[in-house]
């Protein structure tokens, strides 16, 4: 398959059916070492998976907490 001018791709029908990706289903596009992972977004996602990687800042943690608290 090819990426369109607008950055769109078509997921083959057999894969859409296999993974329940009907019209309107939301997916996450996740960068991985050798490309991207397209993953169906589910309501029952594990809480750790929802926040994994958001704390990759190299700043001082105390300074960051003060920043987000508005101090």
**Is 4 inside a domain boundary?**
no
Calculated CA dihedral for residues 12, 7, 56, 46, nearest 10 degrees: -30
Confidence of residue 13 (pLDDT cuts 50, 70, 90): very high
> Is 38 contained in some domain?
yes
Question: What is the pTM assigned to this prediction?
Answer: 0.51
Q: pLDDT tens digits, residue range 29-58? A: 999 999 999 988 877 666 777 677 666 666
Contact between 28 and 49 (Cβ < 8 Å) = no
User: Does residue 8 sit within a domain?
Assistant: no
Evaluate whether residue 2 is within a structural domain. Answer: no
- Residue 40, domain extent: 13-68
pLDDT at residue 41 in the model: 82
Predicted local distance difference test score (pLDDT) of residue 26: 86
pLDDT at 66 over 80: yes
Look at the chain and report how many structural domains it folds into: 1
Tokens 């090819």, residue? 2
Please provide the distance, in angstroms rounded to a whole number, between the alpha carbons at the two ends of the chain.
50
Residue 55 is assigned to a structural domain of this protein: yes
* Residue 7 lies inside a defined structural domain of this protein: no
Secondary-structure percent of the chain, ordered helix, strand, coil, rounded to 5? 25, 15, 55
Asked if the structure places residue 1 within a domain, the reply is no
Mean pLDDT of the chain: 83
């Amino acid at each position: 398959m090819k990426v369109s001018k607008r950055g769109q791709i078509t997921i083959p029908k057999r894969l859409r059916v296999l993974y329940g990706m009907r019209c309107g289903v939301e997916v996450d596009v996740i960068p991985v070492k050798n490309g991207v992972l397209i993953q169906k977004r589910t309501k029952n996602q594990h809480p750790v998976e929802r926040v994994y990687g958001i704390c990759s800042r190299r700043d001082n943690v105390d300074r960051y907490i003060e920043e987000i608290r508005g101090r």
